[in-house]
Amino acid sequence: MSARQALIVVDVQPDFMPGGALACDHGDEIIPALDRLLRARVMAHVVATQDWHPPGHVSFASSHPGQQPFAQIDLYGHAQTLWPDHCVQGTAGAALHPAIDWAALDAVIRKGTDPLVDSYSGFRENHAADGRRPSTGLAGWLRERGVEEVFVCGLAREVCVLWTAQDARQLGFRTSVVWDLTRPVTATTDQATRQTLAAHGIGCIDSGELRAA
């Protein structure tokens, strides 16, 4: 275990599980191995992100009359996918998943709390009306603890995990995605996501490699 490494667990919440409001196919399959990884205390620093939207959030199709879930609109000059209502603050579907032992967790970053801005990355929100991408404070939290390398897992593979990993890399952290502890939410291919990771200098590992390290 290195004091310079952190695990970032992205959006492991019931609404992203099969049967949930914004289900990732086979999303529940990551739970046993993620639970084992957390219990094994292999990472010196563990942070989880929690998608945490107010009712009527701008990313919900229901907030845009005439629009359907998974449609794309222009929002402040950038593409915004419209989602089913999900991870509404205080609901059971927005909780950190109850089947996981979160005792090893050092911090939780809640994101998507601004009613008018979505947030896929755990590091910074999507583009706001003024063109900025407001920080969540996660990079500072990691840096002040001396973290230099992050391992990103959770849901969804090609949305919040990918955006979080891309920002981590761009902000100067050595970054890997723990592939077997992720699942996609859309019909994207594994090959496309893996290519994007490689193109951004992001590693791709198996959770077994973490436990063996």
Q: Specify the residue, 42 or 51, whose C-beta has the smaller distance to ligand VGL.
A: 51
Site for ligand VGL in 152-191 (CB under 6 A): 155-156, 159-160, 185
Contact 75, 114 (CB under 8 A): no
Min dist CB 82 to ligand VGL, Å, is: 10
Report what 167 binds from Zn ion, ligand VGL, none; CB cut-off 5-8 Å by kind: none
The tokens for 130 are 């003024």
Min dist CB 187 to ligand VGL, Å, is: 14
3-state secondary structure of 21: coil
Site for ligand VGL in 2-21 (CB under 6 A): 11, 16
Q: Specify the residue, 87 or 139, whose C-beta has the smaller distance to ligand VGL.
A: 87
Identified catalytic residue from 15, 51, 111, 153: 111
CA atoms within 13 A of residue 78's CA, in its CB half-sphere: 14
Min dist CB 11 to ligand VGL, Å, is: 4
Question: What does the alpha-carbon distance between residue 203 and residue 168 come to, in Å, rounded to a whole number?
Answer: 12
Min dist CB 1 to ligand VGL, Å, is: 27
3-state secondary structure of 71: coil
Q: Binding residues for ligand VGL, how many (CB under 6 A)? A: 9
Among 137, 136, 92, CA closest to 112: 136
Question: What does the alpha-carbon distance between residue 125 and residue 49 come to, in Å, rounded to a whole number?
Answer: 12
Site residues for Zn ion per CB under 5 A: 51, 112
Report what 11 binds from ligand VGL, Zn ion, none; CB cut-off 5-8 Å by kind: ligand VGL
3-state secondary structure of 27: helix
Question: What does the alpha-carbon distance between residue 21 and residue 109 come to, in Å, rounded to a whole number?
Answer: 21
- 11 is known as an active-site residue: yes
User: Which residue of 83, 123, 151, 179 would you call a contact of ligand VGL, by CB under 6 A?
Assistant: 83
